[in-house]
Structure formats: structure tokens, C-alpha cells
Amino acid sequence: MTSCEFKVLTEFLSFPLENSDPVFEKFIAMKKGVFHGSEKRRFLYIPGRRKNKVLLVAHADTWWEYYCENDVVFEDGRFFSTGEYGIGADDRAGCAIVWLLKDSGHSILITDGEERGVLGSCYLYSQHREIYDEINREHQFMVEFDRRNGNDFKCYDSGSSDFKKYVALKTGFSEPDKKSTTDIAVLCNKICGVNLSIGFYNEHTENEHLIYEEWLNTLNISRKWLKEKYLPKFKLIR
């Protein structure tokens, strides 16, 4: 297994679990966009160059906020840990997808503190309203990569019925319910947003694992979808 996609995913899953700095440093090295905040209340925003662009979202933190060995191995098509902790695929696997889509012309938002109460996105909302307003004004919709399983999507309260039909058509995924929350529930104000499955299971436990082909399927679906010349704008009416 030597593909570029596999190498990138392996790199992100190998970062220290309790420290988000390596994720932010990798994106900051692109020398684009703006970085604000500190500790868990921080985010990196890189505006896209496309005319009808989408905001791609992932969070850099994991459930594991204390030092622990990150013994990630790949066997029989899945990533898992040989230690007593999970692998941090929630949401390092999402960050890896955003990294692989970085040249698509779409905007990027990497947050911190999602696992501790969506701290980074709440900080963006409360302290950087100019950016919050911009992402809701300048984008067609938002796509977050932070969902368990292989073929789900969730809009929570951030999706219209038309948008949900559109997402189902483009991905082949289905929405099981509206429970729980994540960054787009804070970020979406004027436009719709969706959170896509990226192939991890049993997150927040020592039995966490990620099925590579399911992760790759979401990446490839997103590449094809977001490459379309025309992407409609979906307004959110609460």
C-alpha cells in the first residue's frame, strides 16, 4: 500500500494524539490564510480561489488530551492501535481528507477543541465575526469530514430538505438521525452544511479503528463532487 492517499492518512494518524500543533503546523506551512487563537480555542482559515466555492471543515484535536503512545498499525484493510488508546481518526482522518483536497480551489477551516465542546468554532463565532460572516456569505455550503461509519451523512439542524436530497444524490449516503453535534452546527448560519462519514468506528475508545477503503471512498466521492463546475448555493433558513 504505497499510494499518496495512504501515505497522507498514515502521516496524520501518526501525529501525537494529545497535541494538535503538528496538524496546524502542516497547514500553516502552506503560507496561506489566517490563524487565530491559542490552546483549544483556535482555528486556521484558508479562503479558496474558486468562484462558487465550498468550505471544507475538520478538527485537529482528538479525544485523547493526555500523553499516550500512538501505536497505529495497518492490517487487513484497517488502521487500529496495539496500545490502550484509540488512533485519533476522529478527526485526524478528516484532516487528511482536507489536506488531499487543498488544491481543489475550495476554502479550508481547521478547528481545535471540537471534542471539548466545539471550542474553536465557538471562538471563531464570538471573536471573529468578520470571518464567520464571510464563510456564510462567500460559500455555497459547508462539508465537514468528521462522521463515523462508511455511508452516513448528518446535517443536524444545518440542512434544508433540498440540501439533504442533494447530498444523498451526490454521495449515495443516508442520514440516520439529527442527534449529536459538531463544528458545522455552530458555523452554519446563512448556508447549509453536512458532515460525512469517513470510515472510523468506536471512536473515543481503545477499540477505535478505521476502514481504509471506506475513508478512500469518501475522499473519491468528494473529489468528484467538488470538482463539478457548478455547485449550487443552499441557503439555511432556521
> For the chain, which domains are there?
4-226 (3.40.630.10)
Instruction: Report the pLDDT value the prediction gives residue 178, as an integer from 0 to 100.
Output: 85
β partners of residue 196: 145, 153
pTM of the model: 0.97
What CA–CA distance (Å, rounded) separates 36 from 134?
15
DSSP 47-98: ----SSEEEEEEE---S--S-----EEEETTEEEESSSS---HHHHHHHHHH
Calculate what percentage of the chain has a pLDDT beyond 70.
98
The pLDDT, as a whole number, for residue 230 is 95
pLDDT in tens, 85-94: 899 999 999 9
Nearest residue to 226 (alpha-carbon basis) of 136, 100, 137, 133: 100
pLDDT for residue 2 is more than 70: no
**42: β partners:** 37
All three cell numbers of 83: 496500545
93-104 pLDDT, tens digit each:
999 999 999 999
Does 114 have pLDDT greater than 60?
yes
Span 21-58, pLDDT tens digits: 999 999 999 988 999 999 999 999 999 999 999 999 99
Maximum pairwise Cα distance, the chain? 47
